[in-house]
Chain A
């Protein structure tokens, strides 16, 4: 049997294009001080957008659906849609990047964003443990660099280091789990693993392996009790990096996670009424995240930390979507993760632009945003209300489909049902802290001497685009949900 490298090249054209784009962008910084930082930033963002657009176009014609290259990759709707989603979120992140002004090596930042995106798109289609791990780590390494990118601020260095240490440890857990699975089943390919596990049934070693994997993914997804890095990273990282970490990275990670758990380890899921497996553990992590995220967010005075705790709460709901995917498929999870990503990119985008003319850490730094820039305030209104789950914005439909799936899974008396009810109940708590943000932006008068904020065109486009997509997907959810039917 000849190895079908041609097929592989065709399937991986988006990734190749992104890596090529990253190298080209790096070259922008090479000529010494020939252009201003602003010009280099714009040039590299333009190149980056070109690479992302090409990758997007190639993803649309990626080839025949189904397993590829001996089952290493799989091209299915989840993979294709996730690729498209992370590419779109990366485009928005680049738009925000073009709106930030304080970065010393803009081309490197753009190149790292492209490399991370290549990792994300690969995560979306990986169907083999080794490739999955490699994709995850190549994405994570780029994110570590991005978190610590602002070398002039100690907070950024702290964020980078913290993220790196936590991420490194979680990678070790994950890899250990993977190696145990390999030892148990003799394979690193998900279909074979699935068949083997169905034959052998549960074993103590399998439980250890599952716990390792869940710990690893729990760190990556910032789910409680593995969330400790998230507030510091969101607080310290430059806004575009935080946007990417909070959005595209979540989407790709959850796609990989759901693919690994349901088709791969589905036989070891156990069930929610007590049989050992990963389902009860994921349910516990989900519940802990929803509780901790929502209540800790109430006490925050720093808007980035508040978004971090809100992200933890959303991670809990997303894990509920992972659970429900066993019954209703990954469509609801994908919808939730993508639209959550859009809202988070947007929120960090607003923070990035506000930071052009001063600090944006405390919630009060947003005071009077409406008077300083109606555009930013209007966009923030959409993003925050979508995070809070207010119809007709996409955040509401996302919650709705996930909770409905969870309740269909086991009824009200099952843990999935309790979690859905818990999440619904706590959404009223969540509305409080989201309104606290909006109160500063829309109700409170600006501080004395706060100047109007000029929004650069690329950032304005990115923010308006994200807001428009949130409204569009909210009013017409079948655009995304229909893909999975």
Chain B
């Protein structure tokens, strides 16, 4: 178990090493990065083997850090965080494999990439809100440089918009946490201490602080109407960065809602529940409809990300045991599948055809030119729209059933979103890969071959596909961790109200 904190340290150390190695050669930098990501993932798997699922956080490290404020360096893990740690490892490894062709400033690219990953590991392991916030911000800043330096379309605008949205969100969180600490006379910033302090506050104040915390975190999770950074940012980002953005960074926001905002103020959460649920439902349908009419391949995936993250938020808002478990499972599932979709669009297609306009792609017989990409995209697309057998199916199904138990109307409208998701996914598969019916063009495909799919790309794609397939066929591997974690008193309070 005590291996888990090393995921953080290994990632940051790897970031420094990659920076040094990058000065020598690009190959050295990328192998360093891959070794780091694989090492961190291996650590997670080793720790997961010995993990005993249970209610409540299991402390890994707890040392006082800033005495005057009662801040401690407190790392802990439960089934929810472990699920997301596994996701982080997979997304990071795949992201590096899909960045194998980075030749411009490779050392800095992988250093920033790994620093971001280290921050993400840190967020998922923190049991102290101050510490969580520190790691949260460490994960935000590298995104600016990843997008602004290595990005594509409108990259400086996209990078700045994304970072300012994230930072504005985290400012809300900062204000909320300091307010809770100061007003409640808390003894420290630990989750337990802050929850005790929060319970002492008058109800209107609880609602106000909860609103700050939840809105702040949900901005990063892409909650409607604060989601607009996500599509622009995804489109501007280089492939690996958009994989990470959709794959893990948006999860940071949802995780913050689940780990910090909701357990600290369970009563306030139940009071705000309908608002959050409706925003989530609107986000699902609205973003899905926007995705339906996009002309840019990556924008389709960007909006689909927002739509699928809406399911996570809906699961959180419904707050039945089934819905919460589904929400965590959906975080994992969407992380893997969105990574895969962005990899196909950004790396396999865009970097070979140099266009993402669906109208242009339509004219190319891509299924002949890039059969591997076509296969992967079809599989990932089907996984994304929730085909049984893939991880999206158990996740979205549990969310919908769990939501139905709370309020059937939310579930019905959200189910419309699944239909829309089917429509835009099939539309984009059809147009992009199977668009042309011109037999001559298809027959002539062999005359102008595109660069073949590399081995690194195949490895990354297969890694992610096997993850979504494995979890889809055997969701219990994750649910056996998640469900006991939800038995802890803090989450019981979230579901039923009252203080733990």
- Write the residues of chain A forming the contact surface with B, with a CB cutoff of 8 angstroms: 331, 385, 390-392, 396-397, 400-401, 403-404, 407-408, 411-412, 417, 420-421, 424-425, 427-428, 431-432, 435, 438-439, 442-443, 477-478, 481-482, 485
Contact = CB atoms under 8 A, between A and B. Distances in A.
A438 B144 CA distance: 10
Contacts of B168: 428
Interface in B151-169: 156, 160, 163-164, 167-168
A482 B67 contact: yes
B171 interface: yes
Interface string B290-316: 000000000000000000000000000
B275 interface: no
B181 interface: yes
Nearest to B168: A428
Nearest to B149: A443
A403 B163 contact: no
Central interface residue in A391, A411, A432, A478, by most chain B CB within 10 Å? A391
B69 A425 contact: no
A403 B68 contact: no
Contact of A404 (B138, B149, B163, B182): B182
Contact of A427 (B141, B156, B171, B178): B171
A443 B138 contact: no
Contacts of B178: 400, 403-404, 407, 420, 424
Contact of A385 (B67, B134, B141): B141
Nearest to B208: A412
Contact of A428 (B133, B134, B164): B164
A397 B66 contact: yes
B256 to A, nearest CB: 15
Nearest to A408: B182
Given A411-B183, A443-B149, A481 B133 contact: no
Given A427-B171, A443-B145, A478 B65 contact: yes
Interface string B203-235: 001000000000000000000000000000000
B216 to A, nearest CB: 11
B174 interface: yes
Contacts of A390: 137-138, 141
5 contacts: A396-B137, A417-B179, A424-B175, A424-B178, A481-B67
B429 to A, nearest CB: 35
A401 B66 CA distance: 10
Given A391-B138, A420-B178, A431 B167 contact: yes
Given A391-B137, A392-B134, A407-B183, A425 B66 contact: no
Contacts of B175: 420-421, 424-425
B67 A485 contact: yes
A392 B179 CA distance: 21
B183 A404 contact: no
B494 interface: no
A296 to B, nearest CB: 18
Nearest to A403: B178
B375 to A, nearest CB: 37
A409 to B, nearest CB: 8
Nearest 9 CB-CB pairings of A with B: A407-B182, A391-B134, A428-B168, A408-B182, A443-B148, A424-B175, A428-B167, A428-B171, A391-B137
Interface residues of B, number: 30
B138 A425 contact: no
A391 B133 contact: yes
A478 B138 CA distance: 20
Contacts of B167: 427-428, 431
B171 A442 contact: no
Contacts of B179: 407, 412, 417
Contacts of B145: 438, 442-443
Contact of B160 (A392, A432, A477): A432
The dominant DSSP class at the A interface is: helix
B209 to A, nearest CB: 9
Nearest to A431: B167
Contacts of B141: 385, 390
Given A391-B134, A428-B168, A411 B182 contact: yes
A439 B171 contact: no
Contacts of B67: 478, 481-482, 485
Interface string B105-149: 000000000000000000000000010011001100100110011
A175 B261 CA distance: 52
Nearest to B64: A478
Nearest to B133: A391
Contacts of B69: 400-401, 404
Given A396-B134, A424-B178, 16 more contacts: A385-B141, A391-B134, A400-B174, A404-B178, A407-B178, A407-B181, A411-B183, A412-B182, A424-B175, A425-B175, A431-B164, A431-B167, A432-B164, A439-B156, A478-B67, A482-B68
A424 B160 contact: no
Nearest to B170: A428
Contacts of A385: 141
Contacts of B156: 439, 443
A401 B182 CA distance: 11
A439 B151 CA distance: 14
Contacts of A435: 144, 160, 163
B249 to A, nearest CB: 16
Contact of A478 (B66, B144, B181): B66
B183 A412 contact: yes
A442 B149 contact: yes
Contacts of B137: 390-391, 396
A477 B134 CA distance: 13
A442 B67 CA distance: 36
Contacts of A485: 67-68
B411 to A, nearest CB: 36
Nearest to B134: A391
A404 B129 CA distance: 14
A378 to B, nearest CB: 9
A116 to B, nearest CB: 32
A408 to B, nearest CB: 4
Contact of A481 (B68, B148, B164, B171): B68
B160 to A, nearest CB: 7
Interface string B50-71: 0000000000000001111100
A407 B174 CA distance: 12
A466 B308 CA distance: 45
A92 to B, nearest CB: 24
A417 B69 CA distance: 18
B174 A424 contact: yes
A91 B65 CA distance: 29
Interface string B11-31: 000000000000000000000
Nearest to A485: B68
A332 to B, nearest CB: 9
A411 B160 CA distance: 33
Nearest to B145: A442
Nearest to A401: B69
B133 A477 contact: no
A383 to B, nearest CB: 14
Nearest to A378: B19
A477 B66 contact: yes
Contacts of A442: 145, 149
A481 B183 contact: no
